[in-house]
Amino acid sequence: MIESQQITALVLAGGRGSRMGGVDKGLQTFNGLPLALHTLMRLQMQEGALIGEVMLNANRNLAAYEAFGVPVWPDTLADYAGPLAGFMTGLERCETAWLMTVPCDTPLFPLDLATRLAQALDRENADIAMAAAKEEDGQLRAQPVFCLLRADLLESLVAFIQGGGRKIDRWTALHKTVIVPFDAPGDDPRAFFNANTLAELHSLESP
Q: Which residues contact 105 (CB under 8 A, 6 or more apart)?
A: 25, 26, 35, 194, 195, 196, 201
pLDDT at residue number 87? 96
In whole angstroms, what is the distance from residue 26 CA to residue 36 CA? Answer: 5
CATH of domain 7-203: 3.90.550.10
Binned at pLDDT 50, 70 and 90, residue 20 comes out as low
CA–CA dist 204, 90 (Å, integer): 28
Nearest to 190 by CA among 177, 206, 178, 167: 206
Q: What is the pLDDT of residues 89-115, one digit of tens each?
A: 999 999 999 999 999 999 999 999 999
Mean pLDDT, rounded, of the chain: 91
130 touches 144 (CB < 8 A): yes
Full-model pTM? 0.94
How far apart, in whole angstroms, are the C-alpha atoms of residue 40 and residue 28? 14
Q: Rounded to a whole number, what is the distance in angstroms from the first to the last CA of the chain?
A: 40
Torsion of CA 73, 6, 122, 120, to 10 degrees: -50
Q: Is the predicted pLDDT of residue 22 greater than 80, yes or no?
A: no
Average pLDDT over residues 63-68: 97
CA pair distance 8, 18, nearest whole angstrom: 28
**Rg, Å, the chain Cα set:** 16
- Higher confidence at residue 18 or residue 3? 3
Q: Is the pLDDT of residue 162 over 70?
A: yes
Q: Assess whether pLDDT exceeds 80 at residue 80.
A: no
Residue 198 pLDDT exceeds 80: no
* Secondary structure (3-state) at 120: helix
CB atoms within 10 A of CB 7: 28
Q: Please report the DSSP string for 37-69 in residue order.
A: HHHHHHHHT-GGG-EEEEEEEESS-HHHHHTTS
